[in-house]
């Protein structure tokens, strides 16, 4: 839960935070509505932190996905966790198709220009803030890897199809390619700690 904003806050120059109203350098992100927007104080806090409320179980067609796509099409940084859940076994899980739809919709809103998609993988945050722990631990090494831009033009050309089935196929293929890029970064990174024995919930991710 501390990956964003924890890691990104350390990586970004501090002046980005103060100058963000002018330059829009700080990322936008998505957060579960029932977690980040459950009262007015949290709503104001996370909205000012450039976080958009996504509703778990509402699927890829909820309006906030289009808001994120419009933001991405405008050239701003949108940071997403495409798995849609926390995987406590320390391994990359399956990605949700919403990330493919986000890419397609951003492309359409940008007049046919593909958004830049950079895979981002980190390891050992589970040691910094272990599941079931009482707070942060110090002295841990966190490794962050950011890959090259993922080429998508051979897939995004199908985003504009009039056939809904073809559009969904494009979402799926884009998602699979992005997962492949993340898996390559996972191979290059130290393993994450397996905390599945302490996981509060088990089962399939929400749709």
| 76 pLDDT more than 50 | yes
In a domain, 87, yes or no: yes
Whether residue 97 is contained in a domain is answered as yes
Residue 201 included in any domain: no
Question: Mind listing the pLDDT tens digit for each residue in 112-126?
Answer: 999 999 999 999 888
Q: Supply the pLDDT for residue 133.
A: 76
Buried residues in 14-41 as b, exposed as e (16+ CB within 10 A): eeeeeeeeeebebbbbbbebeebbeeee
Number of domains in the chain: 1
pLDDT in tens, 98-111: 999 999 999 999 99
Place of tokens 């905390």: 195
Structural domain span for residue 129: 3-195
For residue 196, the model assigns a pLDDT of 84
Tokens representing 118 are: 């950079």
Question: How would residue 203 be classed by pLDDT, with cut points 50, 70 and 90?
Answer: low
The answer to whether residue 200 is domain-embedded is no
The pTM is what? 0.87
- 202 inside domain: no
Integer Cα distance of 104 and 120 in angstroms: 20
Output the 3-class SS for the chain: CCHHHHHHHHHCCHHHHHHHHHHCCCCEEEEEHHHHCCCHHHHHHHHHCCEEEECCCCCCCCHHHHHHHHHHHCCCCEECCCCCCCCCCCCCCCCCCHHHHHHHHHHHHCCCCCCCCCCEEEECHHHHCCCCCCCCCCCCCCEEEECCCCCCHHHHCCCCCCCHHHHHHHHHHHHHHHHHHHHHHHHHCCCCCCCHHHCCCCCCCCC
Does residue 189 fall inside a structural domain? yes
């Amino acid at each position: 839960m501390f990956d964003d904003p924890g890691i990104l806050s350390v990586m970004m120059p501090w002046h980005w935070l103060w100058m963000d109203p002018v330059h829009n350098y700080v990322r936008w992100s998505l957060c579960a509505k029932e977690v980040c927007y459950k009262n007015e104080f949290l709503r104001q806090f996370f909205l000012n932190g450039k976080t958009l409320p996504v509703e778990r179980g509402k699927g890829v067609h909820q309006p906030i996905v289009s808001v994120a796509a419009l933001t991405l099409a405008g050239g701003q940084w949108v940071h997403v966790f495409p798995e849609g859940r926390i995987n406590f076994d320390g391994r990359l899980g399956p990605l949700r198709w919403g990330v493919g739809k986000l890419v397609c919709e951003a492309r359409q809103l940008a007049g046919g220009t593909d958004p830049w998609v950079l895979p981002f993988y980190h390891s050992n945050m589970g040691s910094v803030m272990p599941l079931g722990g009482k707070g942060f631990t110090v002295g841990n090494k966190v490794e962050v890897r950011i890959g090259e831009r993922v080429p998508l033009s051979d897939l995004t050309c199908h985003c504009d199809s009039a056939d809904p089935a073809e559009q969904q196929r494009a979402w799926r293929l884009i998602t699979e390619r992005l997962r492949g890029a993340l898996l390559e970064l996972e191979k290059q990174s130290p393993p994450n700690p397996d905390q599945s024995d302490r996981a509060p919930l088990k089962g399939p991710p929400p749709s």
